[in-house]
Amino acid sequence: MATRLKYDEEEIINQLHQQATCRTAFGKVIEHYSEQLYWHIRRMVIDHDDTNDVLQNTFIKAWTNIDNFRGDAKLSTWLYKIAINESITFINKKKVQNNISLDDDDSFLVNSLEADRYFDGDEAQIRLQKAIATLPEKQRLVFNMRYYDEMKYEEMSEILGTSVGALKASYHHALKKIETFFENND
Amino acid sequence: MKKEDSKILEKLGKDPGFKVPDNYFNDFNSKLMESLPEVKITEEEKPTLWIKVRPFVYMAAMFAGIWLMMNIFNIGQKATGRPEAKIKENVIKNDNQPKTGLQDNAIMNYEDSVNANLEKAKSIAK
C-alpha cells in the first residue's frame, strides 16, 4: 500500500506559487483530492470512463490556471468549482451529441447504468439514481453534496455561491421529489 | 443518517453501487502527473526592507514638512503670546490715539514717531 504524503494545505499553496516546487506540490494536491472529486463527478456523470475524462480535465484546468489561484478561497472549494463546471459542460456536450434538449433532465445518463461493468448496485439503487437524475442540475448537486458527501451547508454555499437558506430549501425540495418519484414508480 | 433525510433513503443507504477498477486512483495520479504540461509561475517578489519601511518614512517626512511650514508662517501661535507682538499691538493702538505727548515733535517723520512709540510701549510693558 502506497504511503500518503503529509498534506499541509498552507505549505502546499506556498509551494504551488514557486516554479521550483509547484509540480511536486500539485502532485500532492492530486493525491489528496482525486478520490473525493472522482466520487463527486461520478455521481454527476454516472459512467466511470466519463468520470475519468472529467476528472482529468478538472486537474489539467486547475494546473494550467494555478497561477491565478491566490489562496483567497480554500483549495478544495476552487477544485470543486472547477469539477462542477467541467461536469456540467460534459453533460451538456453529451446531450447535444444525443440530440437531447439542454432543458431536459439528465435521466439519459442512467439508461446504461445496468450495463456498466463498474456498477454493482441493485434495482433500488438504480431507481434512486434515476430519481436523482430527474432533479434540476442545481438540486442534483445539492442533494449529492449533502446526502453522499455529507458536506456542511456553509461549505456548499462557498462552492455553489448560494445562501445556506436557499441550499436547505433546495435539499428539502430534492428529498420531496425523490419521495414522489418512488411513490409514483412503485 | 440525518433527521432531515427521508425514510426511503434510510432504507437505501449511502452506497450508490459505483465501483472503480483495481488500483484506479494510484494509476490515475501517476498517469496524470506524466501528462501535465509545463506551466510558468509568476513568483511574488519578496518585499525589501525599503518597501517595508517606505510608508513610515513618507509619513514622517510629511509630518516634518507640516511642522516646518507651521514654523515658517507662524500658524497656530497667538499674536498676543509674544512680547514683540504685544509691543507692536500697543504701538498701533497708541498711534491711533490723540498724540498729546508727541505734539511737540511735529517735525518728526512717521518712522521716528513709530520708534518713539515703540520705546514708550516697551517701558509700559516693563
- The answer to whether the CB atoms of B15 and A121 lie below 8 A apart is yes
C-alpha distances out from residue A54 to A43, A112, A143, Å: 12, 18, 20
Task: Give B93 or A59, the one with higher predicted confidence.
Answer: A59
Q: Which of A1-5, A11-15, A80-84 has the lowest mean pLDDT?
A: A1-5
Closest CA to A13 of A70, A59, A56, A94: A70
Beta-carbon contacts of A121 under 8 Å, excluding residues fewer than 6 positions away, are: A113, A129, B15, B16, B17, B18
DSSP type of residue B1: -
Ramachandran category for residue A121: left, alpha or beta (phi over 0 → left; psi -120 to 50 → alpha) = beta
- B46 contacts chain A (CB < 8 A): no
Same domain, A48 and A23: yes
ipTM of the complex as predicted: 0.83
**In terms of residue numbers, what domain contains B56?**
46-77
Same domain, B91 and B105: yes
**In terms of residue numbers, what domain contains A126?**
105-186
Residue B30 domain-assigned (yes or no) = no
Q: How confident is the model at residue B7 (pLDDT cuts 50, 70, 90)?
A: confident
| Mean pLDDT value across chain A | 90
Residue-wise pLDDT tens digits, B39-68: 887 777 677 888 889 999 999 999 999 999
Residue-wise pLDDT tens digits, A146-182: 999 899 999 999 999 999 999 999 999 999 999 899 8
Contact assessment for residue A90 and residue B63, using Cβ atoms and an 8 Å cutoff? no
- What is the domain-level CATH number for residue A173? 1.10.10.10
- The answer to whether the CB atoms of B29 and A27 lie below 8 A apart is yes
Q: Does the pLDDT value for residue A44 go beyond 90?
A: yes
DSSP type of residue B14: S
Distance CA A94, CA A110 (A): 13
Residue B40 domain-assigned (yes or no) = no
Chains A, B: CB contacts within 8 A come to 100
Same domain, B73 and B92: no
Chain A nearest-CA distance from B29, in A, is: 6
Percent over 70 (pLDDT), chain B: 64
Closest Cβ opposite residue A179 in set B4, B8, B28: B8
